[in-house]
Amino acid sequence: MKENELAKIFSPMKNKNETEMKTKLLLILFVFALTAVVAQTDVEIKKEMKIVVANSAVKDTTIKDYEEDTLHIRLGDFKIDIYPDSTSKLAGGYRKSKYLPLKEFTWYGFSGIRIGFLNFMDSYQNAYDAEWLQNQGKRNSSGSIGMGIINTSFELVQDRFRLGTGLGFSLETIALNRNLRLAEVDTFGFQTGSFPMSNVATLNSIYLTVPLVFQFNAKVTERDREDLWLNEERNIFNVSFGVIGGYRLSSNAIYKWRENGEKRKQRVAGDFGLNEYMLNVYTEVGFTNSLSFFWEAGLLSKFSSGKGPEIYSNTFGLKLNF
């Protein structure tokens, strides 16, 4: 058979194979061109295109959560998968839910300090304002300072509800009428006679305290997360409620006055009829985890039965967490 005749026989087959290869090559180039265009287009959702070839050394790293977004293309023996990168996030993903998950809410409990104003109620829940509490003055006011030393909490509902307890101290100062002096006995009473008017006259007591308080943390909304002026301590509403028990460690009366132009001070130790124990209802409301308002109401009388007036303390103030 002549060479020209053989060429005529194999030429169509050769042309056919070349045509098929060119077609496959053009399709592959089209896919790559399409990928380049998508990657360079400035859209809100950015996706990194990856190509996985079957039966090759390249492993399929497609994340299960994104399988519905994967584009599958077959070119003869080739399999091409195009899918968004697993690290990409849909722009509207968070808007599907009204609330965002609260990753961590720092629980300070009673590790901070409480500063409040102190007043009293009688057994009928009326304001108690006896003569021995009057004439207090600017530098002579009743107040309370509490501080937590040891603090711990137990999570009851994840990121939402906790039970807190610990150990701390509380100092209560009752401002007295500056014209009076307490009797130095174990009952509540006053000395007779004339005394120089005091600039400061207070009855003070220090308690060892143990809180038992529940705290509820509200959810973090999308707006809270997006506000740029908020730092890591986001605008999170929280409420605490429970009781604080205490045992009186010491008490004293302090008087300060001027005599012949010189400052004088007298400190008298004693219990003056004060109750040995303290038990207060506690409520706290805050909008950050660093600052909140609190209110304490005494369940036990400030003075022991038969040793002083039946009055109950009320304290309202600020709580600073650190």
Query: How many CB atoms sit inside 10 A of residue 259's CB?
Result: 8
pLDDT at position 95 is 42
- What is the reported pLDDT for 54? 47
What is the predicted pLDDT for the residue at 142? 92
pLDDT tens sequence across 115-159: 999 999 999 989 998 999 987 666 678 999 999 888 888 888 877
Within a domain: 4: no
Structure confidence at residue 78 (pLDDT):
58
Residue 190 falls within a domain, yes or no? yes
Are the beta carbons of 283 and 73 closer than 8 angstroms? no
Q: Are residues 181 and 219 in the same domain?
A: yes
Domain that holds residue 293: 107-320
Q: Exposed, middle or buried by CB within 10 Å (0-12, 13-18, 19+), for 252?
A: middle
Residue 3 falls inside a structural domain: no
Per-residue pLDDT at 140 = 73
The arithmetic mean of pLDDT across residues 265-285, rounded, is: 96
pLDDT of residue 109: 62
176 and 65 part of one domain: no
Of 66-70, 76-80, 113-117, 281-285, the range with the lowest mean pLDDT is 66-70
Percent of the chain with pLDDT over 70: 59
Asked if residue 309 and residue 174 are part of one domain, the reply reads yes
> Measuring CA to CA, how many Å separate 272 from each of 94, 108, 289?
62, 35, 39
Q: What percent of the chain has pLDDT over 90?
A: 41
Q: What is the pLDDT of residues 29-51, one digit of tens each?
A: 665 555 554 444 443 334 444 44
In a domain, 252, yes or no: yes
Residues 255, 142, single domain; the answer is yes
- Region 231-235: mean pLDDT is 50
Q: Which residue has the higher pLDDT, 295 or 155?
A: 295
- Supply the mean pLDDT for the chain: 76
Query: Is it the case that residue 5 has pLDDT exceeding 80?
Result: no
Residue 105: which pLDDT band, with cuts at 50, 70 and 90?
Answer: low
Q: Are residues 142 and 271 both part of a single domain?
A: yes
Q: Residue 220: helix, strand or coil by DSSP?
A: strand
Are 131 and 178 found together in one domain? yes
Structure tokens of 158? 């994840």
Domain total in the chain: 2
Q: Say what the pLDDT of residue 89 is.
A: 41
The pTM of this model reads 0.65
- 205 shares its domain with 259: yes
Q: Which of 115, 128, 110 is nearest to 313 (CA)?
A: 128
Q: Are residues 58 and 123 in the same domain?
A: no
* pLDDT above 50: residue 87: no
Q: Is the pLDDT higher at 211 or at 100?
A: 211
215 shares its domain with 266: yes
Both 188 and 293 in a single domain? yes
Whether 101 maps to a domain, the answer reads no
151 SS3 class: strand
Both 69 and 180 in one domain: the answer is no
